[in-house]
Amino acid sequence: MDFNVRIHPNKVRQVLFLSLLLLILVVLCIHFFFLLSALLGAVTLYVLLRKAMIRMTLHWKWKNGLSALSLMLLSLVAIVLPFGWLGSIVIDRISPFLQDPNAINHFFTQIDGYLQHQFHFNMLDKENLAKITNAITGLAPTLLGSTLNMLTNLIVMYFLLYFMLTSITSLEAWVRKSLPLRQENKILVLSQAKAIISSNAIGIPIVAALQGLLAVLGYYLFGVSDPVMWGIMTGICSVIPFVGTMATWVPIAVYTLAQGHVGQGAGLIAWGFIVIGLSDNVLRLILQKRLVDIHPLITVFGVVVGLDMFGFWGVIFGPLLLSLFILLVRVYINEFINDEVTVEAVTEDSGPDQKEK
């Protein structure tokens, strides 16, 4: 056996060069990680606005800069400002509540007393109640910090989006050229990535918004004070893994029962289970027929990862990253593994034929 294997100098230089690139990439990723949500947001808006940008520049003969600025303004008014407005409503309404531990203690004490009296179920002791109170009151500075962080990411996101839209032709040509895949897999990656981004960016907010509207209607019908604010909270909680909208309407219903309003509390429970709960499955089924069919587990675990990585925006970006990862695994198998299996099969099949010849 010959162990004197020589490695071509070009291979050595290539490995060293790729190692240097990887090192620089890791350093950049570490220091620019806080801008990752801005980049993902710019890519998401780019996918949603791409067709409109092409139509405005090619068919309507608008200039690139004017088209990009018009679409950015439209997206700001139609997408970003409504979220900001809803967030400001929630923060304004719950800030006094978060800063008053006695109000929080009273709310949960009422619920705990009702459960103990009716079902002999001790949900909270003093230690757990103190933990819940401290956790909720600690949300106030967190909300303020996340608001400032979201504003910074918003500015960076639109800065990136402007250059992406104005360079749409060269950008997409560069992406197609740079992908180290066969042509059919390039088409698969780009088409599926666009579909996945659109599905997550459109599907998740639509489901949350509709569940929030249904919750507002139910809270109004059964006499819950400030139904709009609690409806917004219910829509936001609809993306919480495993718990979903129950994180909002269950405590409200139990608190209503604890106040002695049995009919209203029972109505809220029925509305929550039947209307709000079932609407999630119905809405997702309808959207899946029009958008990419993303497995619910991808959404659940994507939100778990996304909330930890990006905060509020992780609701969308978490499932997006997980879906793209699964897509890239499929492409890798199609690009490399299937090819190796095919080559081995052809080699095995051709062996006896060659011997017979």
The residue that leads in pLDDT, 335 or 51, is 51
What's the pLDDT score for residue 240? 73
Q: For position 307, what pLDDT does the model report?
A: 72
Residue 68 and residue 117: Cα distance in Å, rounded? 62
What is the DSSP-derived secondary structure letter of residue 3?
Answer: -
pLDDT of residue 133: 60
Lowest mean pLDDT among 112-116, 159-163, 193-197, 327-331: 112-116
pLDDT band at 122 (very low <50, low <70, confident <90, very high): low
Q: Which two tokens stand for residue 242?
A: 């495993």
- Each residue of 303-345: pLDDT tens digit? 778 777 776 667 777 888 888 888 888 888 887 776 555 545 4
Q: Which pLDDT score, from 0 to 100, does residue 356 have?
A: 47
Mean pLDDT of 180-186: 82
pTM for this entry: 0.72
Percentage, residues of the chain above pLDDT 90: 15
Listed residue (33, 54, 80, 105) closest to 321, CA to CA:
33
Confidence grade of residue 281 (pLDDT, cut at 50, 70, 90):
confident
Instruction: Give me the mean pLDDT over the 139-163 stretch.
Output: 73
Q: Which two tokens stand for residue 42?
A: 């710019």
Worst-scoring range by mean pLDDT, 185-189, 272-276, 308-312?
A: 308-312
Give 184's pLDDT tier (boundaries 50, 70, 90): confident
Tokens 């806080």 appear where? 34
pLDDT at 218 over 90: yes
Report the range of poorest mean pLDDT among 1-10, 145-154, 171-180, 185-194: 1-10
Half-sphere exposure of 145 (CA within 13 A, CB side): 7
What percent of the chain clears pLDDT 70, i.e. is strictly above it?
A: 72
Say what the pLDDT of residue 165 is.
93
Q: According to the per-residue pLDDT averaged within each range, which of 31-40, 53-62, 146-155, 345-354 is highest?
A: 53-62
Query: CA angle, corner 161, sides to 156 and 167, nearest 5?
Result: 135
Q: What is the pLDDT of residue 229?
A: 85
- Helices in 138-261 by DSSP H: which ranges? 139-166, 168-178, 183-221, 227-237, 246-258
Average pLDDT over the chain, rounded to an integer: 78
Q: How far apart are CA 221 and CA 248, in angstroms?
A: 16
Half-sphere exposure of 231 (CA within 13 A, CB side): 22
- pLDDT of 292 higher than 50: yes
Q: Taking a C-beta distance cutoff of 8 angstroms, is the pair 235, 215 a contact?
A: yes
Find which of 34-38, 121-125, 346-350 is predicted with most confidence, using mean pLDDT.
Answer: 34-38
Task: Name the residue with higher pLDDT: 273 or 113.
Answer: 273
